[in-house]
Amino acid sequence: MKRILIIGLGMFFSALSFGQTAQTNTLDSLFTALYNKNAFNGNVLIADKGNVIFKKSYGLADEASKRKLNETTIFELASVSKQFTAMGILLLEKQGKLSYDDKISKYLPELAFYEGITIRNLVHHTGGLPDYMELFDEKWDKTKFVVNQDIVNEFAKHKPAIRFKPNEKFEYSNTGYAFLGLIVEKVAKKSFEAYLQENIFKPLKMNNTFVYRSRYKPMKVENYANGYVLDSLGNKVLPDSFGKKFYSYYLDGIVGDGMVNSTISDLLVWDRALYNEQFISKKGRDLLYQSTKTTDGKETNYGFGWFITDDAKYGKIVSHSGGWAGYSTFIERHLTNDKTIIVLQNNSLPTTRFPTKEIRMVVYNEPLLAEKKIQLQSEDLDNYLGVYGNENFPLKITISKKDNTLYAQATGQGEIPLDAYENDTFKFDPADITMVFNVKENTFELNQRGMKIVLKRE
């Protein structure tokens, strides 16, 4: 009987191992194909209930020396940093040092003319603040670095108009998180980087995670991934090759909306800590993933530094992506099924892709079937043309056509060509964008890396 049981267990573990090997091979084939198309250069980690089922590096950390990426290479996280800023605010509230409903003018008195904006508004992107990048592009002496206090000073000086009343809408705001970074410093009475190091990174033993501003405060960092963009000739170059007046150079002093650097393994440590009540209570964890509502009752689907999706197939998912000159980053956590997807790239090219849909299918053992593109005639595209918008989405999207191809152009951005598929579906794979049109309702659903929103034709 024992022998039969042992054989049975052996067969079970063999089957389990075979399943994991099949997943590994499929994922490796997926990322290898993307790497060969110059659509992927970075590190990937995928875990199931904290157990790593796939971890691999593709490409170079440094183009000049041909130094390769490895599993412990450090990347700039860009906007994936926002979840650490939000956690800093949560920890300070837990310590009784601030309230989410405090007016920001309590800590940033220069901004008292922005009436009614609270810390909670900044966390959830419902404050209506304009983005600082446009202001600094127009007004700033670009021979000088910008730090967080400079944003406050310039806003106080120029008083850019609020985009909407607090809580009226959701509009993603780097300004809000830069202000949160400064509020952390003022309340904690120490630098942003020191506070995160002492209260998050060190306690969790995230030994390769830190706030790093490579131009503003340069230091030697071993095993660092240099970020690459394309120049006008289509060559991979460092953003600094465009000079000190390029935005990624003079904005390098700002923290809160970016500038946390980490590895795929440290981010898995972070993922596991967020399930651990020794680090964060259930009440605090629920708050992290709790959407807020605008004044008209609409959900923002954004918590404390996390986009929130309730997916009919995969359950509750929280995620965030990041994009900065040379870096494209993504973390997705499936809370219902405890699965984790971490992707860090040190390229931000027109061809750069995040194969989120395909990863999910492999992780959930779904068949990975290639969708077939279809060719439409010019007159077939007329049903989709127009300008689409949603009051909770900051951009208008214009749909146009050239010959037999549909194009999409968001406000202030270049147009992108869309590939046609069946069932009124169009895609732009390099940015993981899917648009599903409902011609009868004059709408389309925009889906990008788990974020979904419906836009209506005007």
Q: What is the CA radius of gyration of the chain?
A: 23
Q: Cα separation of 413 and 432, whole Å? A: 16
Number of continuous H segments (helices) and E segments (strands) in the chain: 11, 21
Whether the CB-CB separation of 432 and 354 falls below 8 Å is answered with yes
What phi and psi, each to the nearest 5 degrees, are found at residue 407? Answer: -125, 145
Q: Cα separation of 119 and 106, whole Å? A: 10
Among 295, 303, 302, 287, which Cα is nearest to 167's?
295
Whether the CB-CB separation of 415 and 407 falls below 8 Å is answered with yes
Q: Cα separation of 257 and 326, whole Å? A: 16
Among 276, 255, 241, which Cα is nearest to 182's?
255
| Burial bucket for residue 418 (CB in 10 Å: 0-12, 13-18, 19+) | buried
Angle between helices 82-94 and 174-188 (to 10 degrees): 40
DSSP per-residue string spanning 149-213: HHHHHHHHHH-PPPSS-TTS-----HHHHHHHHHHHHHHHTS-HHHHHIIIIITTTT-TT-EE--
Q: Cα separation of 400 and 131, whole Å? A: 28
The tokens describing 83, both together, are 């979840």
194 vs 152, 191, 309, 392, CA distance in Å? 21, 5, 32, 35
Question: Would you call 319 a catalytic residue per the annotation?
Answer: no
Please list, residue by residue across 362-391, b when 16 or more beta carbons sit within 10 angstroms of its beta carbon and e when fewer do.
bbeeeeeeeeeeeeeeeeebeebeeebbbe
Q: Which of 17, 57, 65, 79 is catalytic?
A: 79
DSSP classification of residue 131: P
| Three-state DSSP class for residue 405 | strand
- Active site (catalytic) residues: 79
